[in-house]
A and B are shown apart, each in its own frame.
Chain A
């Protein structure tokens, strides 16, 4: 933005803040420095339209109206009560909390917006030391490419469509969704909304969105139900507490320390002449334990439960090349 335009816009804001009367575009052209440079009425109106749009984008509340019914055209003013940020007075520990909140984001969109907020808080007289060290520092990343377009769609109330990969298998299905919000849960981002295809609320993990998120239809059409709890919708749908499973394993001596540190020893047992231990392990994530255990190869033998034994066997068959798996089947075609 040129210096001349910035100067003109600052003057426009000051002028409209100071007036209680609505000022018509013509009046503004006569008063505010910079508009006199416009060579024609048409050039002025183009300039003025652009300036109004710029101020609205910044969140400046422009009021449009007429001082009396006899006014020939609409006029403009800025109501001070709508423009000004209210009083904020933060204690040092509260300011430290704000600093921590600003630093929470690791995402260009949210970091930028948080800094914008910080700037205004400082302008309101609050002192916030952004760099003050904290003992515990939470960070929330949003690096998925789908994040920015989805956040924009949520904030403008627009429907979106995207291709979505299912948890298992290579299927990619196209979805059309009225997004209610983006939610971070257990370190992962989801978009929650009304799935038009299924006519029901659905959650989608951002990392499984393939390709671009496209906006569909006009802004302002998405209505979020008043009573919906976004976090609960995601929490309810995600892989929530499967109760821990107890597994019985044989582990070769001096091997598989990752398993041993959580295990209860039941006794020494030799297997195929190899010394080892019989262990009991509480598995908190039984659904992913097979990957972990299969990695130890012959150093660990699952004895119980049968489901774990079977899924470990499946993985090992795959790794041994004895399964026509996803990779193999498709690489032949």
Chain B
């Protein structure tokens, strides 16, 4: 928000903001506006030069500074902030509506009240154009798992759980220190410090097979940071081996799960990709599921494993029509 294009809206909001908070520390105001204290002082100096026609001492916006705090002593008629633009109202109201329509996720009563108040203030009945349904994609998370996990997060207690790791197709038991529950792209995840692997991990709630709140407190180490999900949930798996695959358009999502060294477009959505991988058995499983949507060009050993597993499976299917 420090860009010059954002300066005018900030200046228009600053006087009413300060009016509502006489004697506020400059540093605190700067933090609320997302600018440096130095920038905020420059803004205040500029406002000090502005005012009403006449532009004499009694017409200009007046501020009094005391130590590191500031108070508006004359507002020149700028007592309230500007209304929300359609885009601002849309983004805020749509988000509140999405939260309000998601029972069990947040305190929907507080959301409903906030929504009603913001709607009344904004004076816009129906912000058009964007609708968000936070309805979950997963159908297999039990209410019990969800409430146990949420309870552990809220009470800051450690959790024991039996968890299915899809990438390795294994079920393990572990103790984690919960940090928060994230809901991203229609799925719920427990973000927690995993004591076995000693790092922050996201656990899909629909892959938790058993869970128990422990008596001991959750104590993620100080260096445990929340995951930045803005770039997507998948940290591409770093690996030693490189596979060269040709992917049809419908199989291109594969590239998101691996570290891609190179990608060549082949037209009609097809691509040749160079993927780094560490676990050959996972790669084989994925390739078997892709059928004719993917082809292994390299390494030869991977192509052979896929073909052998497929042939073995076909032979079994053919010889056992039923049991």
Residues on A close to B: CB < 8 A? Answer: 1, 3, 6-7, 9-11, 13-15, 17-18, 31-33, 54, 58-61, 82-91, 93-98, 100-102, 104-106, 109-111, 113-125, 133-141, 143, 151, 154-155, 165, 168, 170, 172, 180-188, 210, 224, 230-231, 234-235, 250, 256-258, 261-262, 269, 271-272, 278, 284, 290-292, 294-298, 300-304, 309, 312-321, 323-328, 330-331
- A126 shortest CB reach to chain B, Å: 9
From A184, which residue of chain B is reached at the shortest CB distance?
B132
- B47 shortest CB reach to chain A, Å: 7
Contact A295 B130 (CB under 8 A): no
Residues on B close to A: CB < 8 A? Answer: 1, 4-5, 7-14, 16-17, 20-21, 32-34, 46-47, 49-53, 55, 76-92, 95-96, 98-99, 102, 105-107, 110-111, 113-115, 117-118, 120-123, 128-137, 139-140, 150, 153-154, 164, 166, 169-171, 180-187, 209, 229-230, 232, 246-250, 266-270, 284-295, 306-307, 309-317, 319-320, 322-323
Q: Bound complex: CA of A291 vs CA of B292, how far in Å?
A: 11
Residues of A within 8 A of B246 (CB): 327, 331
Residues of B within 8 A of A312 (CB): 317
3 nearest A-B residue pairs (beta carbon): A325-B292, A187-B186, A318-B292
Residues of B within 8 A of A1 (CB): 4-5, 7-8
Contact B46 A271 (CB under 8 A): no
Residues of B within 8 A of A136 (CB): 105-106, 150, 153, 180-181, 183
Of the candidates A59, A271, A314, A319, the one whose C-beta lies within 8 Å of that of B306 is A319
From A313, which residue of chain B is reached at the shortest CB distance?
B317
- A90 shortest CB reach to chain B, Å: 6
From A139, which residue of chain B is reached at the shortest CB distance?
B184
Residues of A within 8 A of B105 (CB): 136, 138
Of the candidates A9, A61, A172, A326, the one whose C-beta lies within 8 Å of that of B292 is A326
Contact B1 A115 (CB under 8 A): yes
Q: Bound complex: CA of A94 vs CA of B100, how far in Å?
A: 12
Contact B182 A116 (CB under 8 A): no
- A28 shortest CB reach to chain B, Å: 10
Known interface pairs A119-B33, A319-B291, A319-B292; A93-B110 also in contact (CB < 8 Å): yes
Starting from the known contacts A84-B82, A106-B229, 14 additional A-B residue pairs (CB-CB under 8 Å) come to A6-B4, A14-B51, A86-B121, A91-B110, A93-B107, A100-B106, A120-B88, A124-B16, A165-B269, A172-B269, A257-B170, A261-B171, A271-B320, A328-B295
